[in-house]
Chain A
Amino acid sequence: EAQVTQNPRYLITVTGKKLTVTCSQNMNHEYMSWYRQDPGLGLRQIYYSMNVEVTDKGDVPEGYKVSRKEKRNFPLILESPSPNQTSLYFCASSLSGYGVTDTQYFGPGTRLTVL
């Protein structure tokens, strides 16, 4: 089944403890992206990647890192999480590798709480 998977789905952690949220897609998509969703703020793009080894900042990249060593995986890293990073995170992928002009397929979301 074509899908985007994220792990973990739920995570409670403490301030300053490094964590990684994994994202994987099995559709051979070029473009992958991370978003955070907060009440009243909608979806905001954190980082995106057009292809392997190519990443770029979205609108709210502060406090996050990403890497794209393989086409299918796009992990989100929080080196030193803070309470303002408590949010619902979505990974997405789309076929095109040049510009966001294709359907994005979203993962099921990861709910992160930072105490």
Chain B
Amino acid sequence: GENVEQHPSTLSVQEGDSAVIKCTYSDSASNYFPWYKQELGKGPQLIIDIRSNVGEKKDQRIAVTLNKTAKHFSLHITETQPEDSAVYFCAGSLGGRDDKIIFGKGTRLHILP
């Protein structure tokens, strides 16, 4: 089955700098890759997603890139702000072929003042 690995487990960046979180997946048939942000005491919330027919997607300060050949995808946050501090999860799904979704183990992002 699908396996999603996420790195790093913890990341500290200076406010205003960029942060990058990377994930790899094992099943080349996976076609949907969402990223979720979890703030303290809350449930995860979708921040961006990408499908396998797209190489990059941006939404303001957040971008996701997908390399299907290498089977990895990354989350990029630019001009980081204190409110970006949270745990981020990547995930992979086979979409219509399988209704399971596999999450990475998460990255705790600290934005330093």
Could you tell me which A residues sit within 8 Å of B by CB distance? 4, 31, 33, 35, 40-45, 48, 50, 56, 58-59, 90, 92, 98-101, 103-104, 106-109
- Bound CA–CA A90/B1 (angstroms): 22
Are B100 and A107 in contact, CB atoms less than 8 angstroms apart?
A: no
Interface string of B75-113 (1 = CB under 8 A from A): 000000000000001010111111111111110000000
Q: Are A42 and B106 in contact (CB under 8 A)?
A: yes
Q: Are A48's CB and B100's CB within 8 A?
A: yes
B residues contacting A by CB (< 8 A) are 1, 6, 31-32, 34, 36, 42-46, 49, 51, 89, 91, 93-106
On chain A, the residues within 8 Å of B31 by CB distance are: 101
Q: Complex: how many Å from CA A4 to CA B105? A: 23
Indicate which residue in B36, B42, B96, B103 contacts A44 across the interface (CB closer than 8 Å).
B103
User: Does A43 lie within 8 Å of B96, measured CB to CB?
Assistant: no
Pick from B1, B6, B36, B97: contact of A99, CB under 8 Å: B97
> Which residues of A sit under 8 angstroms from B101, Cβ to Cβ?
33, 45, 100, 104
- Are B43 and A100 closer than 8 Å at their CB atoms? no
Expressed in whole angstroms, the Cα–Cα distance for A48 and B49 within the complex equals 20
CB distance from A38 to the nearest CB of B (A): 10
Given A100-B95, A101-B93: A58 in contact with B44 (beta carbons within 8 A)? no
Q: Which 10 A-B pairs have the closest CB atoms?
A: A106-B43, A42-B105, A99-B96, A43-B103, A99-B95, A100-B93, A100-B101, A103-B46, A101-B95, A101-B32
